[in-house]
Amino acid sequence: MRHTNTATFPSPVKPRPLALLSGRSPLAYLANLAKPAAALAICSLLVISIGNGGCSVNDYQLTFEEANSINTESNLGLEYLALSTRDYSGQNKYNPDQPEIVFSEDGNVIGYYFKYPFDSDDVRLRQIRINGGDYDLFGIKVADDIAKASPIMTGRGYNLADTPYYYEGTASVAYSKYHVYIAFETEPGSTAISSILVSLVDPNEPVIMS
């Protein structure tokens, strides 16, 4: 297989493969790092830059259709928004603070499962991070120059999204479409893409400040 509104935020905090292994959801992880005023600023940023206000059933359907396009026209190494096969009944009740994690066979791609839609029982692979290897998003790969992303993403109907404070000092850039949130990350002083984050935010998911 060729293989953004308030919500759990797609965290780009480093070390990237370990950012969520502390047992906290991405937004809780960020809130813990930036208490309390900075965390509030992050939430405000998301409402302004990712969402257009409001939400409809159609937004979810359009998001699933876009996910299908991503999976079909990219090589992510994992299937974006794939349903988890884990049984979350009984003692195995879903816990967003301890998300199910999966890796590509070579370990260069890591994915995290969270509920989507938030008010459903569906647990899906809603965050994927590409750190290297022969993977791509619409032909954009790690190590490509960041300038490659703009014409491709805007040409596919994505809007440029504001980036959070921890991207300051880098050429990192983010795009959103429906609930899909995609970030191309770079290191300070470099325009080479160091990782690609494919995630989403659900406007019906409450923000928990902790």
Q: Tens of pLDDT along 73-96?
A: 999 999 999 999 999 887 788 888
For residues 32-61, average pLDDT: 46
pLDDT value at position 204?
Answer: 86
Strand ranges across the sheet with 193-200: 101-103, 109-115, 123-130, 193-200, 180-186, 173-177, 159-161
- Which DSSP category does 108 fall into? S
* 116 C-beta neighbours (distance < 10 Å), count: 26
More confident residue, 182 or 55: 182
pLDDT band at 57 (very low <50, low <70, confident <90, very high): low
H or E stretch covering 176: strand 173-177
pLDDT band at 194 (very low <50, low <70, confident <90, very high): very high
Over the stretch 116-134, which tens digit does the pLDDT of each residue have?
A: 999 899 999 999 999 999 9
**pTM, to two decimals:** 0.74
Parse the chain into domains and list their residue ranges. Answer: 16-200
